Amino acid sequence: MADVAVAGGGVGGMAAALRLAAAGHDVVLFERNQALGGKLATRTLDGFTFDTGPSLLTLPEVFDDLLAVAGTSLAEVADPVRLDPICRYHWPDGSGFDHRAEAHAAHAEVDRFSTGQGAALAGYLDHGRRVWDVSRRTFFAGPMESPVDLVRRMRSPGDLWAIDPLRTLDARARSHFDDPRLVQWAGRYATYSGSSPYAAPATLACIPWIEQSSGAWYLRGGLARLAQILTTVLDGAGVEVRTGVEVDAIRADTTSVRGVRLAGGETVDAEVVVANVDATHLYADLLPDRRALRRVLRAPVSSSGFALLAAVEGRTEGLAHHNIAFSGDEAGEFAAIFDHGQAPDDPTLYVCASVVTDPTQAPEGCENWNVLVNVPPASAVDWDAEAEPYRDHLLEVLAGHGWDLAGRLRWVETITPADIAERYRSWQGAIYGTSSNGRRAAFLRPANRGPRRGLYLVGGSSHPGGGLPLVAMSGAIVAAMVAADRGRHRPD
């Protein structure tokens, strides 16, 4: 008998487990894969290492806050590097700019790129600061079971306007920038939550401010080091971790959870079950609930990703750690992904080459290119048939941007949405769980409290959404809810 059973060892599950163990609970965590971390994973072959999931860490203070529970910090257990530039941006016409880590340098660089737009960037970032100041103490500060929760945490009606939920990110960007390339740059941040700039609320304008103010970070050895660090910390906190173990069902009566059943039939009693699995998997398979499932399926699913892991010989002039080569047809790209269910012909390419910062990530004189493009969720495309042709197409698109890898490729692997779905049981291979597309998206996202007493949801498909810091925040929200609920139900 455990106090708490956690189903799934992604970052959200690990964060909840750590906080609950630190609060004195007996916690057991089940993960079907052999290692913890979920999408925060790595691939190493022939001396090349790739982060196959997250490659960019934002809001490191969220992880400092989590690690403080175990008496440590990111700087103590990892080797975090603040990147400068944050990212190198390229357009098909050959223009580009470096998003510099220091704000004044960023403004000056954007002014060089497009005269007069440095001030526009400063204004846009300042707007993002106001959005973040309000959203962190309202939207992110606790559970979100209805819009009332949001309103209750607001200090004045001005807070609602400050988070700018009614217009789209694209419309907000257009009101700041005259240069369409900078509108495209600002819209790109919608993809940080698997969304489209034409549908996601302007609230997402806080993301570039977050990057600018608290940095874009890398952990030496690869971002997946964070999963190893959390695994060690869980062990130190006394969490019983069982990997290679699939949760087959969540046991419950009509009112409360009773524990979990594992594949193979073993049952484990627990008063609290924290589900870090995708909410569709939870309500379709583990605790079948048609009403809850229907609700989950109403939430817009995030985009997925198609990745090339390319082992490249030689060094590339001008390659940064993070690089973006923009599509020449932004509207067509997002329409393909979100309206037509097609992998875009002219995608924006994200190229991460962590070897630029960390020579351990590739053999001497070589580069680890992780090329990621946004594509629709898995069911829209037959990836068994399309993976190879799309890989070849992307290599041509790269060549078109001046990155011709022909003759330099030692090997290339692909990761498709179907792979992401299969590896992490993520619905349709969604990268971020649910997207932010549409004004109601934040409220359609499954709540952290499940439909039976003692059931809680953490991770990308529940509030507050996907991305490393957000899923860690969901762990904190759930740990606080468990503490509050237990206080309320404790017999005196």
- Footprint on this chain of ligand FAD (rule: CB under 6 A): 7-13, 30-33, 38-40, 53-56, 246-247, 276-277, 281, 305, 307, 372, 420, 424-426, 431-432, 459-460, 466-468, 471
Helix, coil or strand: residue 472 = helix
Query: Where would I find the beta strands (DSSP E) of 73-223?
Result: 80-82, 87-90, 96-99, 217-219
Identify which of residues 12 and 85 has a Cβ nearer to ligand FAD in the complex.
Answer: 12
Calculate the alpha carbon distances from 148 to 109, 127, 144, 460, 476 in Å.
42, 25, 8, 22, 20
Minimum CB distance to ligand FAD, residue 446 (Å): 12
> Closest distance between ligand FAD and the C-beta of residue 492, in Å?
35
Q: Show Cβ contacts of residue 136 under 8 Å, excluding neighbours closer than 6 positions.
A: none
Q: Give whichever of 40 and 74 is closer to ligand FAD, judged by the CB atom.
A: 40
Least Å from the CB of residue 119 to ligand FAD: 29
What six digits make up the tokens of 202?
A: 């302007």
| Per-residue tokens: 273 | 């079950």
Tokens at 111, concatenated? 């002014």
**H/E element, 96:** strand 96-99
> Per the structure block, which two tokens stand in for 153?
């945490």
Given the complex with ligand FAD, which of 120 and 144 has the nearer CB atom? 144
Question: What is residue 116's three-state secondary structure?
Answer: coil
Q: Three-class SS of residue 238?
A: coil
Task: Between 50 and 177, name the residue whose CB sits nearer to ligand FAD.
Answer: 50
Nearer to ligand FAD, 52 or 196 (CB): 52
Compute the C-alpha angle 142/145/149, nearest 5°. Answer: 60
Q: Closest separation between CB of residue 155 and ligand FAD, Å?
A: 29
2 or 420: whose CB is closer to ligand FAD? 420
Cα–Cα separations (whole angstroms), residue 193 to 430, 441, 468, 486: 10, 11, 11, 33
Least Å from the CB of residue 148 to ligand FAD: 26
Nearer to ligand FAD, 184 or 414 (CB): 414
CB of 51 to ligand FAD, least distance (A): 8
- Over its C-alpha atoms, the chain yields an Rg (Å, rounded) of 22
Look at residue 337 and give its three-state secondary structure.
helix
Give the residue nearest to ligand FAD (CB).
Answer: 10
Residue 465 structure tokens: 């959404």
Burial of 156 (0-12, 13-18, 19+ CB in 10 A): exposed
Whole-number minimum distance, CB 359 to ligand FAD, in Å? 21
Closest distance between ligand FAD and the C-beta of residue 126, in Å? Answer: 24
Which one, 31 or 333, has the nearer CB to ligand FAD? Answer: 31
For residue 29, the minimal CB distance to ligand FAD (Å) is 9
- Both structure tokens of 326: 């923009």
Minimum CB–partner distance for residue 399 and ligand FAD (Å): 23
* Closest CB to ligand FAD among residues 222, 460: 460
Round to whole Å and give the CA distance between 478 and 486.
12
Question: How would DSSP label each residue in 249-291?
Answer: EEEE-SSBEEEEEETTS-EEEEEEEEE-S-HHHIIIIIS--HH
7 or 110: CB nearest ligand FAD: 7
Nearest to ligand FAD of 114, 280 (CB atom): 280
- Minimum CB separation from ligand FAD for residue 11, in Å? 5
Q: What is the DSSP string of 443-468?
A: HHSPPSB-SSBTEEE-STTSTT-SSH
Axis crossing angle, helix 417-424 with helix 383-400, rounded to the nearest 10: 120
